[in-house]
Structure 1
Amino acid sequence: MRRHPLLPLLAAVLVGAAVRAGKIATEVVVPDFVASYLLFIDTYGVFLQSGGGGAFQAVVYNPAGQQDRYYLAVVHAPSKTCVWVANRDAPITDRAAPLRLTARGISAEDPNGTVVWSTPAFASPVAALRLDESGNLALLDGRNRTLWQSFDRPTDVLVSPQRLPVGGFLASAVSDSDYTVGGYRLDVTAADAALTWNGSLYWLLSTDVKSTRDRDGAVASMAVNGTGLYLLAADDTVLIQLPLPDAKLRIVKLGVDGKLVITSYASANATSPSPTDAGFVAPNSGCDLPLSCGALGFCAPNGNASSCTCPPLFASSHDGGCTPADGSKAMSVASCGGAGGDAAPTSYISLGDGVAYYANRFSRPDMVGSNGSSCQALCSGNCSCLGYFYDESSLSCFLVQHQIGSLVNANSTRRGDMVGFIKVQSLQSPGSPSGSSSNNSTLIAILLPTIVAFVLVVVVGAVIVVSWRKQERRPGRRASRSRDVQLRRHRSPASDSAHLVYGNDDDGNDIVIPGLPTRFTHEEIEDMTNSFRIKIGAGGFGAVYKGELPDGSAVAVKKIEGVGMQGKREFCTEIAVIGNIRHVNLVRLRGFCVEGQRRLLVYEYMNRGSLDRTLFRPAAGQPLEWKERMEVAIGAARGLAYLHFGCDQRIIHCDVKPENILLADGGQVKIADFGLAKLLTPEQSGLFTTMRGTRGYLAPEWLTNTAITDRTDVYSFGMVLLELVRGRKNRSEHVSDGAGAATGDDSNSSNGTTGSSSRGARSDYFPLMALEGHEAGQYAALADPRLEGKVVAGEVERVVKVGLCCLHEDPQLRPSMAMVAGMLEGTMELWEPRVQSLGFLRLYGRGFAGPADGSGGSGGGIKQAMAGSNGDHTRSGTTTVTTMSGWPSYMSSSQLSGPR
């Protein structure tokens, strides 16, 4: 029988098809190749394996055996790890749909022939598809040149020796069975490698405890190899490294949960990790993950694991997170923008104190120098804002936008004074209009009689109280009771809740002040201080004594004396304001006493005393370490910023100096004596500049008609910053008559001279030295020589620059205290000092301030020393300042603003 001429060709095609359906190619396949999961069902979709043992395989991948999701993928066969996916956002939906290799590249089709994914067009035809021993899938041309490769387009995995260039990223999958791009990313930037969730940062390679920085420079790429993970410069210089035990193969995978896991293998064909591999996981704490406990779940570390709870006023939800327990609904971006009146009203639910958001550790504030109300208003005006966190210590506002993650302990973010609020949408219960009207009518019928009865009771009670008070004002009764009623803290609950202060006031009326702190009698004060036995200090307002409360806690009692006082009503009103101020960097007022002309204030006790003792005269002879000085600077700045911006009533301290910065164990830094100027009579508040006796810290505007603002405190704080840098008072006097070394004190001669005008004294005015050091760019030499160079050079430069910016002669050119705190923390851009606004320092430092008695000196240069600082009168080199009360205060400019 004669064979048909096409039979041999048909047989060859059938044999080829059978081979393609059943045999796995090694390393290379050529164009006109077709694969599908159905054609290679016997090999579970594998159609190509790498050389050298076939550790890597190219496969039509079907994760979890789903019927409608197939991918072109590369898999590490021994560990069954998918290391690359081509069409992750456009899976093939049928197991028979073809994957084609042609001279134009690779394409994946759906069942109706529509291309769902393909490689780009090339200038030359494709000659082969190769899978090499490192797992790189590449298209080659006829000259064996690479036209395209999978290593240039990573998905959620890197394998050694693969590199990820700057601007490149890994993106997590939605789940282990759905390779669609998820919300987590590993980004390589010019400065670092960062993990983010929907744009929110939660890990940096440079801050990981296992990483080390070799040198600074711009990052060009991230590489993983047999010795570790590296960030490299353009010349392959190592900038940051994560050293790991030696291994032949490493797989770096960004998991669906946001964890970055590095697994090491002794060989490419090893089925299990290397015995020397301890495993690397980032972040190292589960609570650092954005969704460690679901949305609004509170994560608490528990050994090597973590536990999840819901914050107060919240309950567990079906999706693993937490939801408001009152039935309201946490806002989402999808729920904002409702139409007109159909949108439910929004409100805020507190998350409680000490709760922070996982992202607060790395995020920059959305607003600085604000109060909590401003932060809430910022969130309310932003539809994508779902809540906010307010840091009471730094006055920083952080918005939660687009999506809500988990909550953590505020101390883990180094922001212990954080409070958080979540925006919620009230649920409107359904009901018909008629039903609502009926319910309203019933409610009115019930409430109206109750309200009428309550009003009658109030009116009758008021009549009785008025009658009783008239009887009490009769001379006989008043005289018999005037000395009997005491200011005691142990009262009946009714009197304590009213916060009444009784006594003979100017008008004889009883004083009712809400919000007062604990009231003590003078007898109780004497008991707690052991009759004022231990004196621990003295200031412009009087002496300070150590005491102890009945509960054993130590206190400091300030006896205000030598000044005229306001009436009791005014005094108690101001005490109520000061006593309600709460901030971690402000000394807390524990109580007070007001009896007759006696005025005493009871403060919390700071056991390390004031900064001037620790900085200028350390008891153990050891100078304050640089790290502690930075903590003092930042803490004091936060406290002043709160006085200026965080209180309901802005408070200007007016006496910022080291003596009013107190320290305690545990790194506590607190501002003292704030608000005391409010306790003076109007006449004496006009003499405020002379009472405090702190020349060297008062700003130039004290000598002018310029208004005293919060920037006056900024000037004083700038002087304190410079003293922190140098470790001595800004003016150190060296006497040439053999009296000894620099004393660092601020004593004057008996006639009130500044100490720099006679007897061979030489003045080293440090603010001038700091200015000259800034102009020369030499900051390290300005640091306290007692530290022997154990300082952070960049921080010294930062503190000097911030200090000089605070000293700008024009108050409007000085930063606010909130900005000062931000610059010291490094969270805000550092200002550059304006040298032209610091010229007066040269005049102060070169002796332009003459003696106060007018004898000699160069007092005539005062007007030149302070632009626009003309007093109302000038006599013999002495500036006369007309104070607010109209009383002249004869003080030289150097006594107020110049060298100390």
Structure 2
Amino acid sequence: MPSPPISLRSLDLHPSTRIPHGSITCFSMALLLQHALHLFFLLVPLRHHRTAAVQIATEFVYPNFTASSINYIEKDNIFLTSPSSIFSATLSSDAPQSPFIFSILHTPTSTVVWSANLGSPAPYTSVLSLSPAGLSISLSNGSLLWFTPPLPRPIAALRLLDSGNLLLLDDVNNSLWQSFEHPTDTLLSSQRLPVGASLSTSTGDYHLLVTADDAVLLWVNQQYWRLSADPRSIKYHHEPTSFMAANDSGLYLISATGRASYGLKLPNANHQFMRLESGGQFRFLDYSGNRSGLAEELLVPISACDLPLSCRALEVCTLQRKGITCNCPVSFAGSTAGGCVPADSSALASISNCAMEPAYRSLGNGVEYFANKFLKPSSSGGNLSSCQTLCSRNCSCLGFFYKNSSRSCFLVNNQIGSLLGSRNQEVFDSSEGYVKITALSQLGSSRSPNLIPILLTSIVVFLALLIAGIYWRRRKRMSGYRTSPKFVTLKLWASPTRDSIFTGDGFVSGDPDEICILDLPTRFTYAELIAATNNFRTKIGAGGFAEVFKGDLPDKTSVAVKRINGGASGIQGKKKEFLTEIAVIGSIHHVNLVRLRGFCAEGGHRLLVYDFMNRGSLDRSLFVPEAPLLEWDKRMNIAIGVARGLAYLHSGCDRKVIHCDIKPENILLHSSGSVKISDFGMAKLMSTDQSGLFTTMRGTRGYLAPEWLTNTAISDKTDVYSYGLVLLEIIRGRKNWSMVAEGWSIGSTGVGDIRYFPMIALEMHEKGRYLDLADRRLEGRVREEEVGKVVRVALCCLHEDPVRRPTMNEVAAMLDGTIAVEQPRPEGLGFLRVYGRGFLFSGESGKIKSSSSRSCSVFSQYLSSQEVSGPR
């Protein structure tokens, strides 16, 4: 599968057109005239300047050239244009006789795309000069305001290209300096941003930095977005980044070999530039073609509350249906200077008063800090008091957040931005936040009354842990918490079995019932979950090993509580499933993966707490006749969301995660349009060098890949196969095996009352009749080429040889149009006909009857393999 269609040739920065040397001689006379005119402008009173006529150069100007906002005022201060007049070099100013900025403009829209002195506008009497030594802006007293660095050779010309790149050239047309290598706040579509380079706002508070493995947005060195974590991004390869660039299909991180590692697809193919705005947003913009403005294409970060200063400092930003709301936390009030301050006489601490003994003020419940989801904890394994001590010893620390579940401490250094309300915490676990304050009435005191709640909390936690330790030591059958600086360890059961399972930063090894997880989610008591579910009153799903109930937490957040129960597989299977699900979903976060909010491991009770998805699972929307019909665009959003979630599991985690049970019952929907993969009880976590050979079959009948039966190594391509089957069900709106007669004729068997839809999809693909495969309830509200594209993607996923199946990154890219759709290979799909023709179903008994003795021995195993997972 090729990388996304990015043309490196279009990103070439070195000009190939040579300077028309013959024009230099002709230009010498014009140059003398220009100097004379310049002298004339300096001597004639200002009121006569508007009558002067100054020629605007095209593409080239040459040394000893000067320009000022006085002599080019009639030309909108433009002194040079690119060959096609797309871009122009100008001394931009807001009004006559006002300071100017040496800039490159997009001429049709007067949009500034590069600036030399953005943070230091030059007085209108200043002069821009081009000499053999360089380009500079000099003040009226002769001092330099801005200048290019020393160059290895004399300058022969200044050139402006139609790409927007401004170059200084030597006498053989080699580039000595170019504006593309010194970006400000804007990146043009033909411009590269190499590793280590950044875009910056004029104030210097915000930066877009390209690193060896990502692109990140920073506010005073606090990260608030990264490309790899954006839910719209696609991962292609595992190669170090060389530079960031864009083409007509999107924004990409490109390696030295020219392949993309990450990409962000744009909504349409007409973008021209990207800008880091003064408020911290990174916008993808499209030229409107006139002076009326610009048409916005894409904005990152997605949420308005993800910006460091969505609200003022220490205000809590909460998303509403229309916009955001900003409020001060409890015990804080608005300040006339902006932001929030303690409501009493206390003052917020600053770096300058570090010598004072600090106190701390709680930010209350339900708030989080924007940077914590990207920040590694400053320490782990300690208590609240140790986290406070860590902040107190650090002069730059202005506050901290402590997570009880993982005992992780996050410090806020140098500057504090706005906070996030509980509605915005999709990737956060609950934490306690405190800001450092100075009690004005007790400047010499070594303690503050506000420290008492923290000390009391620490004492209570210590006593609780001490009592729990004594209790569990008396019970040799079980163990409680053991902590180390890195991990929280759970021993849930005692078992002599040995069967190692690896997880991201933790592991289950030796004793398979011992699991170590970094940043463990919240632990609930059984009584708390009884109260949340009203004694498990509202059941919303059930499967082989679990039941799922709707619940409401004390903060009114709706959750789904999954209760592991008894089943045919026995207690050992349940224990492993519970351990695996905590290990997988507790350590990964993605917009298309259901979030584990917490768990309960108390006595014989094993429960998992997830975010509640109010539209239930995909099978209800597809297969229940009374359910509202899913239109084609919604089906495609679901398909792309699931593909991106699987792509993250396969290549975005520290360890590859194979879900092993992809089916519509494990795809959850929300009325907001979000789609999430659930049920990780069957998941397998693998290192990159593991063979993936499983000893126990996993999955659900009807979605199993052929390799489960052939002793072939199980890999992420097993999920790809299951996804292909689900994709066909999304297209048709029916189960792939159906007892409903729809007029299909299955080969030469003459059977008209059953059908195997993957085989029919293959036959219709060969005939080019894609529209016949679409859900008939859509009644033509989908185009044949759209159905054809998705059918081809699904068939590519169903190749019998796993090597021929695309990766989920490639599947997501094909579905959203980032890359071209591959053609399925007929020789790799012939087995679908065997599946379709090999069996008849008895509508009464549901048992499989073989119509082919040769295929019975193998395919009856495939179709009747044990269903080890059910709807959750």
Instruction: Normalising by structure 2, report the TM-score.
Output: 0.51
Determine the C-alpha separation between the residues in 2 that align with 1:272 and 1:113: 39
Give 1:782 deviation, angstroms.
4.8
Determine the C-alpha separation between the residues in 1 that align with 2:567 and 2:81: 75
Matched, 1:57 2:75: no
Give 1:152 deviation, angstroms.
0.8
Q: Conserved in 2, the CA contact under 8 Å of 1:609 and 1:664? A: no
Residue in structure 1 matched with residue 433 of structure 2 by the alignment: 420
In the alignment, residue 146 of structure 2 is paired with which amino acid? W
Residue in structure 2 matched with residue 663 of structure 1 by the alignment: 607
Matches within 5 A, 1:459-478: none
Q: For the structure 1 residues 134 and 609, does the alpha-carbon distance in structure 2 shift closer, same or farther, using more than 3 Å as the test?
A: closer
Backbone CA RMSD of aligned residues: 4.7
Q: Conserved in 2, the CA contact under 8 Å of 1:56 and 1:75? A: yes
Give 1:148 deviation, angstroms.
0.9
Matched, 1:22 2:54: yes
Matches within 5 A, 1:124-523: 124-174=153-203, 182-245=204-267, 247=269, 250-265=272-287, 269-271=289-291, 279-337=297-355, 343=356, 345-410=357-422, 412=425, 414-428=427-441
Residue in structure 2 matched with residue 692 of structure 1 by the alignment: none
Deviation digits for residues 717-741 of structure 1 (CA, Å, limit 9, x no counterpart): xxxxxxx9999xxxxxxxxxxxxxx
Determine the C-alpha separation between the residues in 1 that align with 2:428 and 2:714: 23
Determine the C-alpha separation between the residues in 2 that align with 1:667 and 1:783: 32
Matches within 5 A, 1:16-165: 22-52=54-84, 54-62=85-93, 64-65=94-95, 69-92=99-122, 94-165=123-194
Determine the C-alpha separation between the residues in 2 that align with 1:222 and 1:145: 24
Give 1:73 deviation, angstroms.
1.4
Determine the C-alpha separation between the residues in 1 that align with 2:338 and 2:432: 23
Give 1:332 deviation, angstroms.
1.9
Residue in structure 1 matched with residue 511 of structure 2 by the alignment: none
In the alignment, residue 320 of structure 2 is paired with which amino acid? N
Give 1:258 deviation, angstroms.
0.1
Q: Conserved in 1, the CA contact under 8 Å of 2:271 and 2:297? A: no
Residue in structure 2 matched with residue 632 of structure 1 by the alignment: 582
Q: Conserved in 1, the CA contact under 8 Å of 2:73 and 2:96? A: no
Q: Conserved in 2, the CA contact under 8 Å of 1:224 and 1:230? A: yes
Structure whose alpha-carbon radius of gyration is higher: 1
Partner SS, residue 780 of structure 1: coil
Q: Conserved in 2, the CA contact under 8 Å of 1:172 and 1:183? A: yes
Q: Conserved in 2, the CA contact under 8 Å of 1:314 and 1:323? A: yes
Determine the C-alpha separation between the residues in 2 that align with 1:34 and 1:192: 42
Q: Conserved in 2, the CA contact under 8 Å of 1:294 and 1:319? A: no
Partner SS, residue 140 of structure 2: coil
Give 1:139 deviation, angstroms.
0.8
The answer to which of 247-256 and 394-403 deviates more is 247-256
Deviation digits for residues 614-650 of structure 1 (CA, Å, limit 9, x no counterpart): 4883689998799975442479999xxxxxxxxxxxx
Deviation digits for residues 404-443 of structure 1 (CA, Å, limit 9, x no counterpart): 0010035615233211011111224999xxxxxxxxxxxx
Give 1:403 deviation, angstroms.
0.3
Determine the C-alpha separation between the residues in 2 that align with 1:583 and 1:254: 35
Residue in structure 2 matched with residue 546 of structure 1 by the alignment: none
Matches within 5 A, 1:468-617: 584-587=522-525, 614=564, 617=567
Partner SS, residue 786 of structure 1: coil
Give 1:365 deviation, angstroms.
0.6
Q: Conserved in 2, the CA contact under 8 Å of 1:40 and 1:47? A: yes
Determine the C-alpha separation between the residues in 2 that align with 1:22 and 1:615: 86
Deviation digits for residues 1-43 of structure 1 (CA, Å, limit 9, x no counterpart): xxxxxxx999885357679963322221111111122222223
Determine the C-alpha separation between the residues in 1 that align with 2:418 and 2:409: 18
Give 1:108 deviation, angstroms.
1.4
Q: For the structure 1 residues 627 and 209, does the alpha-carbon distance in structure 2 shift closer, same or farther, using more than 3 Å as the test?
A: farther
Determine the C-alpha separation between the residues in 2 that align with 1:626 and 1:242: 37
Q: Conserved in 1, the CA contact under 8 Å of 2:564 and 2:578? A: no
Give 1:243 deviation, angstroms.
2.0
Give 1:122 deviation, angstroms.
2.4
Q: Conserved in 2, the CA contact under 8 Å of 1:725 and 1:784? A: no
Q: For the structure 1 residues 191 and 660, does the alpha-carbon distance in structure 2 shift closer, same or farther, using more than 3 Å as the test?
A: farther
Q: Which runs of 5+ in 1 are unaligned?
A: 1-7, 175-181, 338-342, 432-514, 517-538, 543-581, 592-602, 639-655, 669-723, 728-769, 797-900
Q: For the structure 1 residues 347 and 163, does the alpha-carbon distance in structure 2 shift closer, same or farther, using more than 3 Å as the test?
A: same
Q: How many residue pairs end up in the alignment?
A: 499
Give 1:71 deviation, angstroms.
2.3
Deviation digits for residues 384-405 of structure 1 (CA, Å, limit 9, x no counterpart): 1101101111111101110000
In the alignment, residue 61 of structure 2 is paired with which amino acid? V
Q: Conserved in 2, the CA contact under 8 Å of 1:389 and 1:398? A: yes
The answer to which of 125-134 and 65-74 deviates more is 65-74
Deviation digits for residues 847-867 of structure 1 (CA, Å, limit 9, x no counterpart): xxxxxxxxxxxxxxxxxxxxx
Determine the C-alpha separation between the residues in 2 that align with 1:273 and 1:622: 65
Determine the C-alpha separation between the residues in 2 that align with 1:294 and 1:153: 32
Deviation digits for residues 695-734 of structure 1 (CA, Å, limit 9, x no counterpart): xxxxxxxxxxxxxxxxxxxxxxxxxxxxx9999xxxxxxx
Instruction: Using the aligned pairs only, state the percent identity.
Output: 36
Determine the C-alpha separation between the residues in 2 that align with 1:622 and 1:363: 37
Give 1:189 deviation, angstroms.
0.9
Partner SS, residue 177 of structure 2: strand
In the alignment, residue 207 of structure 1 is paired with which amino acid? A
